[in-house]
Amino acid sequence: MSEIIRQPIEEEVKSAYLDYAMSVIVGRAIPDVRDGLKPVQRRILYAMYEEGMYPNKPYKKSARTVGNVIAKYHPHGDAAVYDALVRMAQDFTLRYPLIQGQGNFGSIDGDPPAAMRYTEARLTKLAMEMLADIDKNTVDMKENFDASLMEPEVLPAKFPNLICNGAAGIAVGLSTNIPPHNFTEIAEALKYLAEFPNATVEELCQFVKGPDFPTGGVLITPKEEIVKIYKDGRGSVTVKGKARIERLPGNRHRIIIYEIPYQVNKVEFIKRIAELVRKGQEKGISDLRDESDRDGIRIIVELKREADPEKVLKKLYRRTQLQKSIPINFTVLVGKQPKTLDLKGILWEFIKHRIEVITRRTLYELDKAESRLHIVEGLLKALENADRVIEIVRGSKDVSSAKELLKEEFGLSDAQSQAILDMRLSRFTALEGDKLYQEADELRLKIEEYQKILSSEEEKIRVFIEEMDYLLEKFGDERKTMVIEEKGEQLTFEEDYILAVLSSGRIINRKFDEKEEKEEVYQKVLNEVSTTVKPGEKLISIQEIKSSTPIAFVTDRGKAYWSLVADLPKGEGKLNIEEGEIVGTAFKGEGEEDRLFILTKNGIIKRMSYEDIFYKSQNHTIIPLSEDDEVVVAFADDHPSVLAVYTRKGDLLMFDRSQVRVTGDKAKGVEAIDLDEGDEVRGGFLINSEEYVLTITEKGYTKLVKKEEFYTKEGKLKKRGQKGLMAVKLSKDDALSAATGVHMGDTLLLSTEKGRVLKLKVDEMKIPVAKRTAMGEQLIKIEGDKVVKIVKPKISESQD
């Protein structure tokens, strides 16, 4: 009875509930500000690291990981562990997934993942950066639940996971909701704050534009509100999905939704649209279907003939989750205490953590280097006195006496004398001695560097910035979520632009309206192109285009990138293409029935539907290429038309476009022209009502040829895959550079190899009409340069 403690029940309940609340806050729901992880996530990553489930190793069953985690570290059920593992593998949940999954890991439709016995997983390269240096005493370790093993209290976390991947959790009386952000922006902000610790949130917002969600969308919260959220550590932002209006034959329209807001269940979203129709709240919709696949979202909303597409789209934004508000709450654990931080606070806590990791890692490396140098110096002493060392060892009765004699003779430490005794006889050669001297010099340099880092905070900051630069190079990417400031409900589908595209991926995109003449804007864009084009860069396209129109860019590697014009950078910007890729074509996609021709250097031609370009992911391969091949041009189908393909050696083949059938994006294409040995395709074009073919050689010889000259003697077109006819007579070191179909009076833009843009008016007074076997006249004389591309401006009124 003496062990019974008398306590008022209200005090016991209060105490027990507080213990429970703190357990939930610290042990389950709120992430640590340093690595951005909850305990279960940290334990999963650490267990996978210990098991060697690296990105370069085979996948292992998820059940194996879950079993390890609950057996060694996590005193909770397997369902909680597997749910956390699945979430870290979903690219629609995490902006930068930490686990690579193989198998069914759920979907944006809300489908559950397969059972853990069916799926496999391993760490991503980014997760390896989260765990980098964990074996170098960089973080504190603690006992697991049964004190049989040690686990990390926090991960070294070279990557700013908390702010980049975000976090959500509901604890007792507390919740957190940190949205994901773009790593490139966060890294630049971290570098700035590390150099200028007194920086304000407003200054950091120069780099951090707002949340960046893995599902894309458009952030329409005004900039001043975003800055206020980052200062307060709480608030909400509004995100809307991306949609475009497409005109169909018969004066009909449809809405294509191709991005939905973050954490919107696609199935529930479609059900909501159907419910609006069923209840008669939206009478303009005639059909609704989901054509999404693994390449991206595609929801089709077919409209009735009389429906106003912009009004329908406005209603979808207003009445469905196509536009939603996302709450933000920067509540995190700082030293095991829950706190609500501002943006600067979150970034500064990460910097502090990394400085501590750098310090501890450097101390570890310094200790290791000094220990090794101590051993190497002992070995060098032994090499310098090799005969005496061998004599002592041979004369000793056992190892311990040999060790003592070596210590006395040469003033060695216990560790040095032991290393000498462990040394093989082969190490006494001159070459091995040189290696040891070299190793000693390298170790001294390392020790000097480590001591330099430890001696000043500036050096630690330098190392931190170098780490950020390294990660930026490996993992930096473009934003997925656009940031715009939208006034009221105004939609911008009918804004008009003049868009110029260059081969480097650079674009110039200028808006015009009733206040500014189209001709003026066109001339401004053209002047801008002419004055900024660089050697090796050429003009690919210049056209008038509406902001609601999708435009695709095909590169030399056979990849297509597409975007709404409204989503492209305004003014001067850069397309998000891969390093080294060259843009060869830019074309509009305005109809479901449209087709595209793709032509390669080795004479392969392919015809495909716009469906396979615009309605898949915004970056995908549309033609598989052989190793030595590349795409030279792609152009929109135009009915009725004749296809023309021309080669470097001056051959040109015309054939009926119907000889190339429509194939899917996985098809390789068919032979367009029978090439002579050493020849290659330079380009191709469609010729419809045009009367002439214009040819320009590398040396500037120019002429017009009547298109009928490329027909057979019977007045018929040749067949696909045959030899071409001579289009121009070439001198010994000349080649056909460019060709296209023209009318008299057309204005063309010519790009040269050294980065010039020239204007050419098609006029038979200036350009001779000649036989196809003639050379033409050297009208374009550019010393040491050559014409490489002809572009027809696609502006509704002809330009002079």
What average pLDDT does the chain have?
88
pLDDT at 800: 41
Q: Is the pLDDT of residue 746 over 90?
A: no
Q: What percent of the chain has pLDDT over 70?
A: 94
Q: What gap in Å lies between CA 644 and CA 672, rounded to an integer?
A: 9
pLDDT at 518: 79
Please write the tens of the pLDDT for every residue from 639-685.
Answer: 778 999 999 999 999 999 889 998 887 888 999 999 999 999 999 99
Q: What gap in Å lies between CA 496 and CA 510, rounded to an integer?
A: 8
Among the residue ranges 96-100, 389-393, 643-647, the one predicted with the least confidence is 389-393
Confidence of residue 214 (pLDDT cuts 50, 70, 90): very high
Tokens of residue 532, six digits: 């900024």
pLDDT at 429: 75
Tokens of residue 770, six digits: 């000649």
Tokens of residue 370, six digits: 């000094």
pLDDT at 134: 95
Q: How much is the average pLDDT of 108-114?
A: 93
Highest mean pLDDT among 16-20, 214-218, 245-249, 511-515: 214-218
Confidence of residue 166 (pLDDT cuts 50, 70, 90): very high
Q: How much is the average pLDDT of 449-460?
A: 93
Q: What number of other Cβ atoms are within 10 A of residue 750's Cβ?
A: 23
Let me know if 258 is exposed, middle or buried by CB neighbors in 10 A (0-12, 13-18, 19+). buried
Q: What gap in Å lies between CA 122 and CA 452, rounded to an integer?
A: 38
Q: What gap in Å lies between CA 296 and CA 21, rounded to an integer?
A: 41
- The DSSP 8-state label assigned to residue 179 in this structure reads P
Q: Is the pLDDT of residue 489 over 60?
A: no
372 backbone dihedrals φ, ψ, rounded to 5°:
-70, -40
Q: How much is the average pLDDT of 220-244?
A: 92
Q: Is the pLDDT of residue 492 over 60?
A: no
Confidence of residue 120 (pLDDT cuts 50, 70, 90): very high
Helix ranges, 140-265 (H): 161-165, 183-195, 201-204, 223-232
Q: What gap in Å lies between CA 505 and CA 576, rounded to an integer?
A: 8
Confidence of residue 26 (pLDDT cuts 50, 70, 90): low
Q: What gap in Å lies between CA 224 and CA 205, rounded to an integer?
A: 10
Cα atoms in the 13 Å half-sphere on the side-chain side of 175: 7
What is the DSSP track for 53-65?
Answer: --TTS--EEHHHH
Q: How much is the average pLDDT of 719-741?
A: 91
Q: Which residue has the tokens 């009765």?
A: 397
pLDDT at 349: 96
Among the residue ranges 211-220, 458-467, 486-495, 734-743, the one predicted with the least confidence is 486-495
Confidence of residue 70 (pLDDT cuts 50, 70, 90): very high
Please write the tens of the pLDDT for every residue from 126-154.
Answer: 999 999 999 999 999 999 989 999 999 99
The residues annotated with a catalytic role in the active site are 118
pLDDT at 797: 54
Please write the tens of the pLDDT for every residue from 247-256.
Answer: 787 788 889 8
Q: Which of 281, 334, 284, 341 is nearest to 310 (CA)?
A: 284
Helix ranges, 456-535 (H): 457-475, 518-532
Q: What gap in Å lies between CA 353 and CA 351, rounded to an integer?
A: 5
Q: What angle separates helix 183-195 from helix 343-384, to the nearest 10 degrees?
A: 80
pTM of this prediction exceeds 0.85: no
pLDDT at 497: 85
pLDDT at 19: 65
3-state secondary structure of 395: helix
Q: Which of 632, 762, 633 is nearest to 693 (CA)?
A: 762
pLDDT at 798: 41
Q: Is the pLDDT of residue 74 over 60?
A: yes
Q: Is the pLDDT of residue 21 over 70?
A: no
Q: Do residues 555 and 504 lie in contact, with contact meaning Cβ atoms separated by under 8 Å?
A: no
3-state secondary structure of 147: coil
pLDDT at 17: 64
Let me know if 404 is exposed, middle or buried by CB neighbors in 10 A (0-12, 13-18, 19+). middle
pLDDT at 345: 95
Q: What number of other Cβ atoms are within 10 A of residue 312's Cβ?
A: 21
Q: Is the pLDDT of residue 488 over 50?
A: no
CA 215 vs. chain centroid, Å, equals 13
Q: How much is the average pLDDT of 79-105?
A: 95
Which helix (H) or strand (E) segment holds residue 542: the answer is strand 539-546
Q: What percent of the chain has pLDDT over 90?
A: 52
pLDDT at 23: 64
Q: 57 or 800: whose pLDDT is higher?
A: 57
Please write the tens of the pLDDT for every residue from 583-634.
Answer: 888 877 665 557 889 999 999 999 988 777 775 566 788 899 988 899 999 8
Q: Do residues 253 and 275 lie in contact, with contact meaning Cβ atoms separated by under 8 Å?
A: no
3-state secondary structure of 680: coil
- The DSSP 8-state label assigned to residue 75 in this structure reads -
Q: Is the pLDDT of residue 1 over 80?
A: no
pLDDT at 348: 96
Q: Do residues 139 and 153 lie in contact, with contact meaning Cβ atoms separated by under 8 Å?
A: yes
Cα atoms in the 13 Å half-sphere on the side-chain side of 642: 22
Which residues 6+ apart lie within 8 Å of 591 measured at CB? 246, 247, 248, 249, 610
- Domains for the chain: give ranges and CATH numbers: 31-159 (3.90.199.10), 242-321 (3.30.1360.40), 356-474 (1.10.268.10), 492-791 (2.120.10.90)
Query: Alpha-carbon Rg of the chain, whole angstroms?
Result: 34
Q: Is the pLDDT of residue 538 over 90?
A: no
* CA distances from residue 288 to 215, 260, 302, 309, 666 in whole angstroms, order as listed: 21, 16, 6, 14, 28
Q: Do residues 159 and 177 lie in contact, with contact meaning Cβ atoms separated by under 8 Å?
A: no
